[in-house]
Amino acid sequence: MAEKVVVYGSGCKRCQQLKANAEKAVAEKGLGVKVDYVTDMGEIATKGFMSMPVLEIDGKAVVSGRVPDAAEISMLL
């Protein structure tokens, strides 16, 4: 069960869609976890992410450079 979910991105439409999909997946699973959204490019650079958006679950980047739907994210949780 995921305890921390973070979306990293520049704030573009795709990044916002990933956040919305992640929030939907978290809600459907009833996890009660807040999905954080990081747009600070300095923080993103320190993580070494090159392709946005990125979905990180419990400190591990599980999706990069694409926007999976809520069903796929639910399987990753």
Q: Please give the domain boundaries of the chain with CATH numbers for all domains.
A: 5-76 (3.40.30.10)
| pLDDT tens track for 21-56 | 999 999 999 999 999 999 999 999 999 998 999 999
Q: Quick one: 64 exposed, middle or buried, by C-beta within 10 A (0-12, 13-18, 19+)?
A: middle
Q: Give me the pLDDT at residue 1, please.
A: 78
pTM as predicted = 0.93
Integer CA distances (angstroms), 25 to 12, 34, 46, 70, in order = 20, 11, 27, 5
